[in-house]
Amino acid sequence: MSSTRPRRLALPSCHLVSCFIAVRGAKPSSHSRRRVVVTLLLCVFLACAFAVLAIQFGRFIHSADFSRFLAFRAGQALKLEARLDPLRWEGDSALSEGLTLIGSESAVLERFEAKVLRADWNWRALLSGAWEIEHLDIQNLSATFKSKTETSADAPAHAASDYSSSRLASWFPSRFELGRLDVRKADLRFGEIQSRGQTLSLLHVFGGYNIESRGGSLSIPGLPPLSHVQSRIREREGIYYLDDARFFLPGNGSVMASGNSGAKARLTLVWDGVPVAQIPVPNLAKYLDGTSQGQATLDSQGAWRGNISFTGARVHDLPLLKNAAAFLRDSSWSNPSLQKLSADFEWSSGNLTLTNLVIESADLARIEGSVRIAHDSTLSGQLEFGLDFKTLKLLPGARETVFTIQRNGWYWCPVQLGGTMSNPREDLSPRLAACVAGAVLLNESGKTLDAVPSTAIDTAKDLINILTPFLP
C-alpha cells in the first residue's frame, strides 16, 4: 500500500509578500496628517463663520437698526431727508407702516409720503453688490413736487438722516435696485397741477423704467376737472417720455397728451368735442358757442402753439353784428351760425395771437386775418371782411368805395380792430356810414335814388342815424 504525501500549498514569492505588507501596514506621514487636520479646521471655521454671519445678518435685518440703515442709504442716494417706520417680516417680505422723504429748498421734491408698504427682497442680489427689492407694494402715496419758480438753486441740500452705522452695516452695499412698484392710490401735486386717485405701476426694464397709471382725476388751473383714463410713460437716462395719456372732460370732450422732458421738453395736446366754455380764453364764451377740436404744443419756453376749429359754432352779442342786423333789417346777422371757424394760435405769457383766422357764415359774410388779445384784454387785429353781392345791394355805394376787392365770390374790405374784449372797436362802421350817406344824399344825376331799391334807401337812412356817432 503506497503512502500518499500531503500536498504543499503554493506561497507567494517573498517579493510580493513584502510589497503587500508594505502597503497595508504603511502609516501616513506627520505632514499629511497636519494638512488634513488644517483642512478640516478651516472648513469648520468657515462653516461657523458663515453661521455666525447668517445669525448676525438675520438679527440685523430684523432690528430697528436696519430700518434706520435703509432710511440713511435712501437719503444718501436721493439727497433728501428720509424716515422709515420699523419693519415687520413675513418670510422674505418686509412690511412698514410708512416712508417719508423731505426735500430741501433746492430740491424738486418737496414731500413724499407712502403708507402701508410691502417689499419682497431678493437676497441673492447682495452677492452682486446691491440691495434688490423685487416687488414693492404701496397702499397710499402722496407727493408734492415744486415748480421751477418754487425751487432755490442756492439753498443747501438736505443732509441725510443721522445714522451711526454698525460694523456689520458698513460691509453692506449702498446701491438699491427696484424691480417693480405698484401703488394702489396715488395723489400727486406738481405746482398748481393736481392728480388724485390714480393707480401706478412702475417696471424696471433694460435702460430705465416703464410707468403706467390708470383712473383718477387731474386738476389744471383754468380747466374743468379731467377724468383720467390711462397714461404710459418711459424713463430713459433721466429723460421722461409721455407716450400716451387720455382724459375725458364733462360733456364728453376728450384730450390726449404726449411729450417728453429734458432740454428739448415739449407737451402736445390733442382734443375733440371740448365746449367753448371750457377753453381757457377770457370772455370767449361771452361771444361764441359750440365745441372745439384741435392740437397744441407747449415748448420749453412755456409758449403754446397749435390750431383750433369749431363745430356747431354760433356768434352772439357782438356790437358790430348787432349794428349790421339793425341797418340791414336782417335778424340773422345778430347771432349767425358759422359753417367755418378755425385759426392757428400762439399763447405766451397771457397773450393770445390768432393767425390764419377764417370765419364764414353762408350767404352772410366771411372774415379772414389775424387778431391779438393781450394779457390785459387789449384787442388788436387786421382783418379782411367779405360780403356777397346780394348783401351789398342793400348798401348803396359800398361796393364802389368800401368793398372794392372781388375774390372767391366775395367782395372784400380791410378792417382794423382795437379796444378791449369787453368794449371792442373797429373802423368799418364809420366808413360804411360815410359811403352810404354820400350815396343817398349826393344825387348828381337825379337818377341815383331811382336806381337804388327802396329797401336800400330805408336801410341807408337807418344806418346814418345808427352810426352818426362814428362819423368824423
> Sign of the CA dihedral 160, 163, 169, 171?
positive
What are the C-alpha distances in Å from 358 to residues 277, 294, 428? 20, 15, 18
pLDDT, tens digit (0-9, with 9 covering 90-100), for 249-279: 887 889 999 999 888 889 999 999 998 888 8
Spatial contact of 383 and 443, defined as CB atoms under 8 Å apart: no
Place of cell 342815424: 465
**pLDDT value of position 311:** 92
**288 vs 140, more confident:** 140
**pLDDT over 50 (residue 107):** yes
On the question of pLDDT at 31 being above 90, the answer is no
Helix (H, G, I), strand (E, B) or coil at 47: helix
> What's the confidence (pLDDT) of residue 136?
94
Tens digit of each residue's pLDDT (9 = 90 or more) over 392-439: 887 777 788 888 889 988 999 998 988 887 788 888 877 777 776 655
Quick one: which H or E segment has residue 242?
A: strand 239-248
Q: What is the pLDDT of residue 466?
A: 40
| pLDDT at residue 454, as a whole number | 41
Strands 217-219 and 337-338: unpaired
Contact at 8 Å (CB) between 355 and 344?
yes
Query: What pTM, to 2 d.p., does this model score?
Result: 0.70
Tell me how far apart the alpha carbons of residues 173 and 129 are, in angstroms, rounded to a whole number: 5
User: Which pLDDT score, from 0 to 100, does residue 335 have?
Assistant: 84
pLDDT tens column, 58-88 = 677 777 777 888 888 777 777 788 888 988 9
Q: Which pLDDT value is given to residue 14?
A: 44
Q: What is the CA radius of gyration of the chain?
A: 43
* Cα distances (Å, whole numbers) of residue 430 to 97, 262, 323, 331, 371: 75, 53, 12, 21, 20
**Packed helices 30-61 and 64-78: angle between N→C axes, nearest 10 degrees:** 80
pLDDT at 134 exceeding the cut of 90: yes
Please enumerate in sequence order all residues whose Cβ is within 8 A of that of 298, keeping only pairs 6 or more positions apart, or say none.
Answer: 259, 266, 267, 268, 269, 304
Q: Which of 169-173, 289-293, 371-375 has the lowest mean pLDDT?
A: 169-173
C-alpha 77: how far from chain center: 26
How far is residue 378's CA from residue 159's CA, in Å, rounded to a whole number? 50
Q: Is the dihedral of CA 297, 298, 299, 305 positive or negative?
A: positive
193-205/208-214 β-pairing: antiparallel
Q: What percent of the residues of the chain are helix, what percent strand, and what percent coil, each to the nearest 5?
A: 30, 45, 30
Instruction: Report pLDDT for 108.
Output: 80
Encode pLDDT of 43-56 as tens digits: 777 777 667 666 66
pLDDT, averaged across the chain = 78
